Amino acid sequence: MNEIVLIALKRPYTFVVLAILIALFGGLAVWRAPTDIFPAIRIPVVAVVDARNRVHLRNVTLGENLGKIVQVTDGLAATDRLINNPPAGPLEGQEVQLASARLESP
């Protein structure tokens, strides 16, 4: 341990350059890590509530993108009850309490 301190005292610029390189490469690794750990998955899924008030995730097929509205061409029925803006946690099978329905016109 004392030898490292003696080298650092004899060559301070070497340790400064080493510390800067560690900081740069560490910052680069932190910046790239979310992309490597959590890749972007773009599978269209909606949360549907069944007759027993349990949540089920369902894959859908998207049609035309109309700006604020996107058409769903397959995977839903007209009678399905959807969750508007579901949380990011696991939902499959969870029981939910229904709030009053609010219809929004396009």
Per residue of the chain (106 residues), give pLDDT as tens: 688 888 888 888 888 898 999 999 998 888 777 665 656 677 888 889 999 999 998 999 999 988 888 899 999 998 898 888 777 776 788 888 887 766 666 5
Instruction: Tell if the pTM clears 0.75, that is, is over it.
Output: no
Question: In 3-state terms, what secondary structure has residue 36?
Answer: helix
Domain ranges in the chain are 2-37, 41-96
CA pair distance 6, 55, nearest whole angstrom: 65
What lies within 8 Å, CB to CB, of 8 at 6+ separation is 14, 15
Alpha carbon distances (Å) from 28 to 24, 33, 97, 104? 6, 9, 44, 45
**Minimal CA–CA distance to 54: which of 25, 34, 84, 81?**
81
Tokens representing residue 97 in the block: 């309490």
CA pair distance 66, 44, nearest whole angstrom: 16
